[in-house]
Structure 1
Amino acid sequence: MSQIALYFGAIFGALSVIFGAFGAHLLKKKLTTEQLNSFETGVKYQMYHAIVLLILGFQLNSEITIDSYIINAFIIGTILFSFSIYGLVISSANNKKLKFLGPITPLGGLFLILGWALLIYKFVVTFN
């Protein structure tokens, strides 16, 4: 069992519900449709990966190197991807767009892809 994956999965899950409600109720009046869609994308990806981390937390052992890499890739990817979107959308809505966050979103996406690729690799090695 990997406690770090379980902790982050639970935290990301709780925050995605909070941010989703925040977006649906408070930001809906401030954001354009495009901005709201972007914010919702961040929330969805955060929740998807919260669920993945919870499942992996019960299946993987963070003391095994590949398992640790998978867990860390999903944690780092979720933080960089979703939270940079939140920052971009909210700062843009306040006419103070934090442009430095723009390149961080695809970097987060790369970490998420890396997590999935490592998971596939683990399956291939384990089941062959």
Structure 2
Amino acid sequence: MNPSFIFRSGALLTATGISFGAFGSHGLRTIKPPLGENKISSWNTASSYLIYNGLALLTISFHPGLLGSSKKYKLASGLIISGALIFSGSIFTLVLAREKFKWLGPITPLGGVSMIAG
């Protein structure tokens, strides 16, 4: 995992979070039957976490330790990427799929733990 990959991953997470946040503010309200405010709030939380973690990755990508052989920055980046995808991805799926993927609920905190570890 090189600085360029980490930078691109951060940019992608940030752009996705912004895009999904915009969809959550406008598009989710048009879904029939309507979603409750708690589902829309969950969606916005997941979008926000994508943005926060994307910005963290962008910052990490400029750290001088990445230019050397330090594995801790690469490990942290991997944990942040996987955690953000698990955390936000499971929430997005739970909101859109409604009752179909209830089993994802217990998986969401694993993404949070991964983000914290990163």
TM-score normalised by the shorter chain: which range applies?
0.7 to 0.9
Partners of 2:89 and 2:23 in 1: CA distance: 14
Pairing 1:55-94 to 2, within 5 Å after superposition: 55-59=59-63, 60-61=65-66, 63-92=69-98
Residue 102 of structure 1, CA deviation: 1.1
Q: Which one-letter code corresponds to 2:39 in the other structure?
A: Q
Return structure 1 stretches of 4+ with deviation > 3 angstroms.
none
Q: Which one-letter code corresponds to 1:90 in the other structure?
A: L
Q: Which one-letter code corresponds to 2:90 in the other structure?
A: S
Structure 2: 5+ residue stretches without partners: none
Aligned-residue CA RMSD in angstroms?
A: 1.5
Structure 2 counterpart of 1:118? none
| 1:52 counterpart (46, 56, 60) | 56
Residue 100 of structure 1, CA deviation: 2.3
Structure 2 counterpart of 1:125? none
TM-score scaled to structure 1, two decimals? 0.81
1:31 paired with 2:32, answer no
Partners of 1:11 and 1:84 in 2: CA distance: 18
Note the alpha carbon deviations across 1:51-84, whole angstroms, 9 max, x for none: 1100111114174211111110100110000111
* Identity %, equivalent residues: 35
Secondary structure of the 1:103 match is: helix
Residue 97 of structure 1, CA deviation: 2.6
Structure 2 counterpart of 1:119? none
Partners of 1:19 and 1:102 in 2: CA distance: 20
